[in-house]
């Protein structure tokens, strides 16, 4: 993707249960040490694509005064865990050793880049079932209303400005009383109040853990068990690379409770319409992952094939397909295969470029120069079909196109986007929360058909500086994923949201722009 589009986080959980024997693999490694911390750190590293601002773990160990202990900070997983400093790295893993634990990587869609906002969050209490840590993946669409309701209470105060603190306070309230409630009733109460995406991993001072997927299944969550080790992760790859082999996906509204004696699955809300975020397959998830039994890689490859099937610009002996690294590679490969024209990496991603905070055109142009290496020897004079996975704001793509013409000396640039036009914000955990910041709505108005007209495409192509621009047809998204359209959330491309708050927020967004629906 030419622009960095960020996502709200990943979660992980591991529990070493009581069993006489564990087979080879992650279970045997954890069993030998009695410590899941090294495996949690590895899982978070595998899901670094979902958040690079902060990382952390919380572990349970009844052999230390702090039954629950949290280690977290801002930075990438390697930075937080000091993996380049071997002794320090080993000290961290030993200090936070435990038979069970949860983990989190963070990108902020709300809240500051501050260690206090890193997860897991902890609530300390003398009663063990009221002492807990949790982490979550998603965004509460009704966060402002929940916050106002809490602050309206007498002498109530919130320290953090994000929805994670709302979840912490709500969890604390549901755990009140003189005995530990069952987790199914806890999650049922949360579901009655929350609107949005909220996959949770939770562990308390009694050593009880639960993991749950939100009622609509907006964000992915999978699980596996091998021997006496139970694992949960936002992406299947994190479990697969630990050695888990039989990986399953949580159903929407499903949860699992795990303790030393075993695990139990149950549904905390009745089954309802599923609304998995299609953008997970298009961009966010690792290409090697599988979500709800649908391969991310094969989805992206099919997107490219569909773009080639829809092509209306003739190919010739001078045509080549070039992907925007890295998430568009599989789509570009599918396009080239279907079109029978050469695939070449005329752009290479500079993996050593640091993060740049871009504020103007000059620094943006510099960022593009440092982020991508252009290879004139394979681009010069070519008719380039440049494949990208999506256009959200278009600013970086325009700078990249300029560089391809200036340095690559290409003859033509035809941009092909393996996603429909992004027409509306996301309120469930993707960093595109205002209509005015999006590229396509300036050309495709709320009352226009979802598919852009030739005139609209020409106007957009002119703005970006390319010879032509085409998008994946919105009516073929479900086909590319291999799931029914009614099981997907397509709100950002069809303006139809799966929750009442999403619909309300979109209406407010239009009103703020003085646009008539």
Closest CA to 290 of 248, 218, 234, 236: 236
Tokens coding 238 = 């994190």
Check 9, 133, 419, 492 and give the catalytic one. 9
Contacts of 364 (CB under 8 A, 6+ apart): 358, 395, 396, 399
How many other C-beta atoms can be found within 10 angstroms of the C-beta atom of residue 354?
7
pLDDT of amino acid 112: 54
3-state DSSP assignment of residue 351: coil
pLDDT of amino acid 433: 63
Q: Furthest-apart CA pair in the chain: how many Å?
A: 77
Q: Is 419 tagged catalytic? A: no
Tokens coding 173 = 């309230």
Task: Note the pTM of the prediction, 2 decimals.
Answer: 0.92
pLDDT of amino acid 19: 66
- What CATH number is given for 10-272 in this structure? 3.60.20.10
| Residue 478 to residue 377: CA distance in whole angstroms | 38
3-state DSSP assignment of residue 267: strand
Q: Are 487 and 220 in contact (CB under 8 A)?
A: no
Sole residue written with tokens 């919130």? 158
| Residue 10 to residue 59: CA distance in whole angstroms | 17
End-to-end CA distance of the chain: 30
What are the residue ranges spanned by the domains of the chain? 10-272, 299-482+499-512
Closest CA to 199 of 171, 224, 185, 218: 218
427-449 CB burial, b ≥16 within 10 A, e <16: bbbbbbeebeebbbbebbeeeee
Going from the C-alpha of 222 to that of each of 37, 211, 257, the distances in angstroms are 19, 10, 14
DSSP secondary structure string for all residues of 370-425: HHEEE-HHHHTT-EEEEEES--SS-HHHHHHHHHHHHTS--SEEEEEESS----S-
Out of 3.40.50.2020, 3.30.365.10, 3.50.50.60, 3.30.70.980, select the CATH number for domain 299-482+499-512. 3.40.50.2020
pLDDT of amino acid 366: 64
* Spacing of C-alpha 513 from chain mean position: 28
In what helix (H) or strand (E) does residue 299 lie, and over which residues does it extend? helix 296-309
Average pLDDT per 10 consecutive residues for the chain, totaling 517 residues: 60 88 62 87 94 94 96 95 96 97 80 80 96 96 93 86 92 94 96 96 98 97 96 97 96 97 97 93 94 97 98 97 93 98 92 52 63 93 97 90 95 98 91 82 93 97 97 98 97 96 91 62
Q: Are 349 and 318 in contact (CB under 8 A)?
A: no
3-state DSSP assignment of residue 146: helix
| Residue 39 to residue 180: CA distance in whole angstroms | 29
């Amino acid at each position: 993707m030419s622009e960095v589009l960020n996502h709200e986080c990943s979660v992980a959980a591991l529990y070493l249960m009581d069993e006489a024997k564990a087979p080879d693999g992650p279970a045997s490694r954890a069993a030998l040490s009695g410590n899941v911390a090294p495996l949690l750190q590895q899982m978070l590293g595998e899901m670094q694509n979902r958040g690079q601002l902060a990382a952390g773990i919380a572990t349970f160990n009844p052999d230390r005064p702090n039954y629950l202990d949290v280690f977290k900070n801002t930075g990438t997983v390697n930075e937080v865990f000091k993996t380049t400093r071997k002794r320090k790295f080993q000290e961290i893993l030993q200090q936070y050793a435990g038979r069970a634990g949860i983990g989190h990587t963070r990108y902020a869609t709300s809240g500051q880049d501050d260690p206090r906002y890193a997860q897991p969050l902890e609530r300390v209490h003398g009663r063990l079932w009221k002492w807990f840590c949790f982490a979550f993946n998603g965004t509460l669409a009704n966060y402002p209303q929940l916050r106002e309701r809490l602050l309206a209470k007498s002498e109530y105060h919130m320290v953090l400005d994000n929805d994670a603190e709302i979840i912490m306070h709500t969890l604390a309230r549901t755990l009140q009383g003189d005995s530990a409630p069952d987790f199914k009733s806890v999650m049922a109460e949360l579901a009655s109040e929350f609107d949005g995406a909220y996959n949770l991993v939770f562990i308390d001072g009694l050593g009880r853990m639960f993991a749950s997927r939100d009622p609509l299944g907006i964000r992915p969550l999978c699980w596996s068990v091998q021997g006496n080790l139970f694992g949960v992760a936002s992406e299947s790859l994190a479990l697969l690379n630990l050695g888990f082999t039989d990986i399953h996906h949580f159903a929407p509204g499903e949860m699992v409770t795990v303790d030393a004696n075993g695990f139990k699955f149950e549904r905390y809300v009745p089954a309802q319409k599923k609304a998995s975020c299609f953008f997970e397959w298009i961009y966010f998830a690792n290409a090697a992952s599988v979500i709800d039994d649908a391969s991310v890689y094969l989805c992206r490859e099919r997107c490219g094939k569909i773009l080639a099937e829809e092509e209306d610009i003739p190919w010739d002996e001078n045509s080549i397909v070039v992907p925007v690294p890295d998430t568009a590679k599989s789509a570009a490969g599918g396009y080239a295969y279907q079109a029978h024209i050469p695939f070449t990496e005329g752009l290479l991603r500079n993996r050593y470029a640091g993060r740049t905070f871009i504020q103007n055109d000059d620094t943006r142009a510099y960022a593009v120069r440092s982020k991508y290496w252009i290879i004139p020897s394979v681009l010069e004079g070519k008719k380039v079909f440049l494949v990208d996975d999506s256009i959200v704001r278009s600013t970086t793509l325009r700078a990249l196109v300029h560089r391809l013409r200036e340095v690559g000396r290409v003859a033509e640039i035809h941009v092909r986007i393996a996603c429909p036009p992004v027409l509306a914000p996301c309120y469930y955990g993707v960093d595109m929360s205002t209509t005015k910041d999006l590229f396509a709505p300036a050309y495709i108005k709320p009352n226009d058909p979802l598919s852009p007209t030739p005139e609209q495409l020409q106007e957009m192509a002119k703005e970006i500086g390319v010879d032509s621009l085409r998008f994946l047809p919105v009516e073929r998204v479900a086909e590319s994923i291999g799931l029914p359209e009614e099981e997907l959330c397509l709100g950002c491309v069809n303006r139809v949201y799966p929750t009442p708050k999403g619909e309300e927020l979109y209406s407010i967004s239009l009103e703020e722009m003085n646009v008539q629906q």
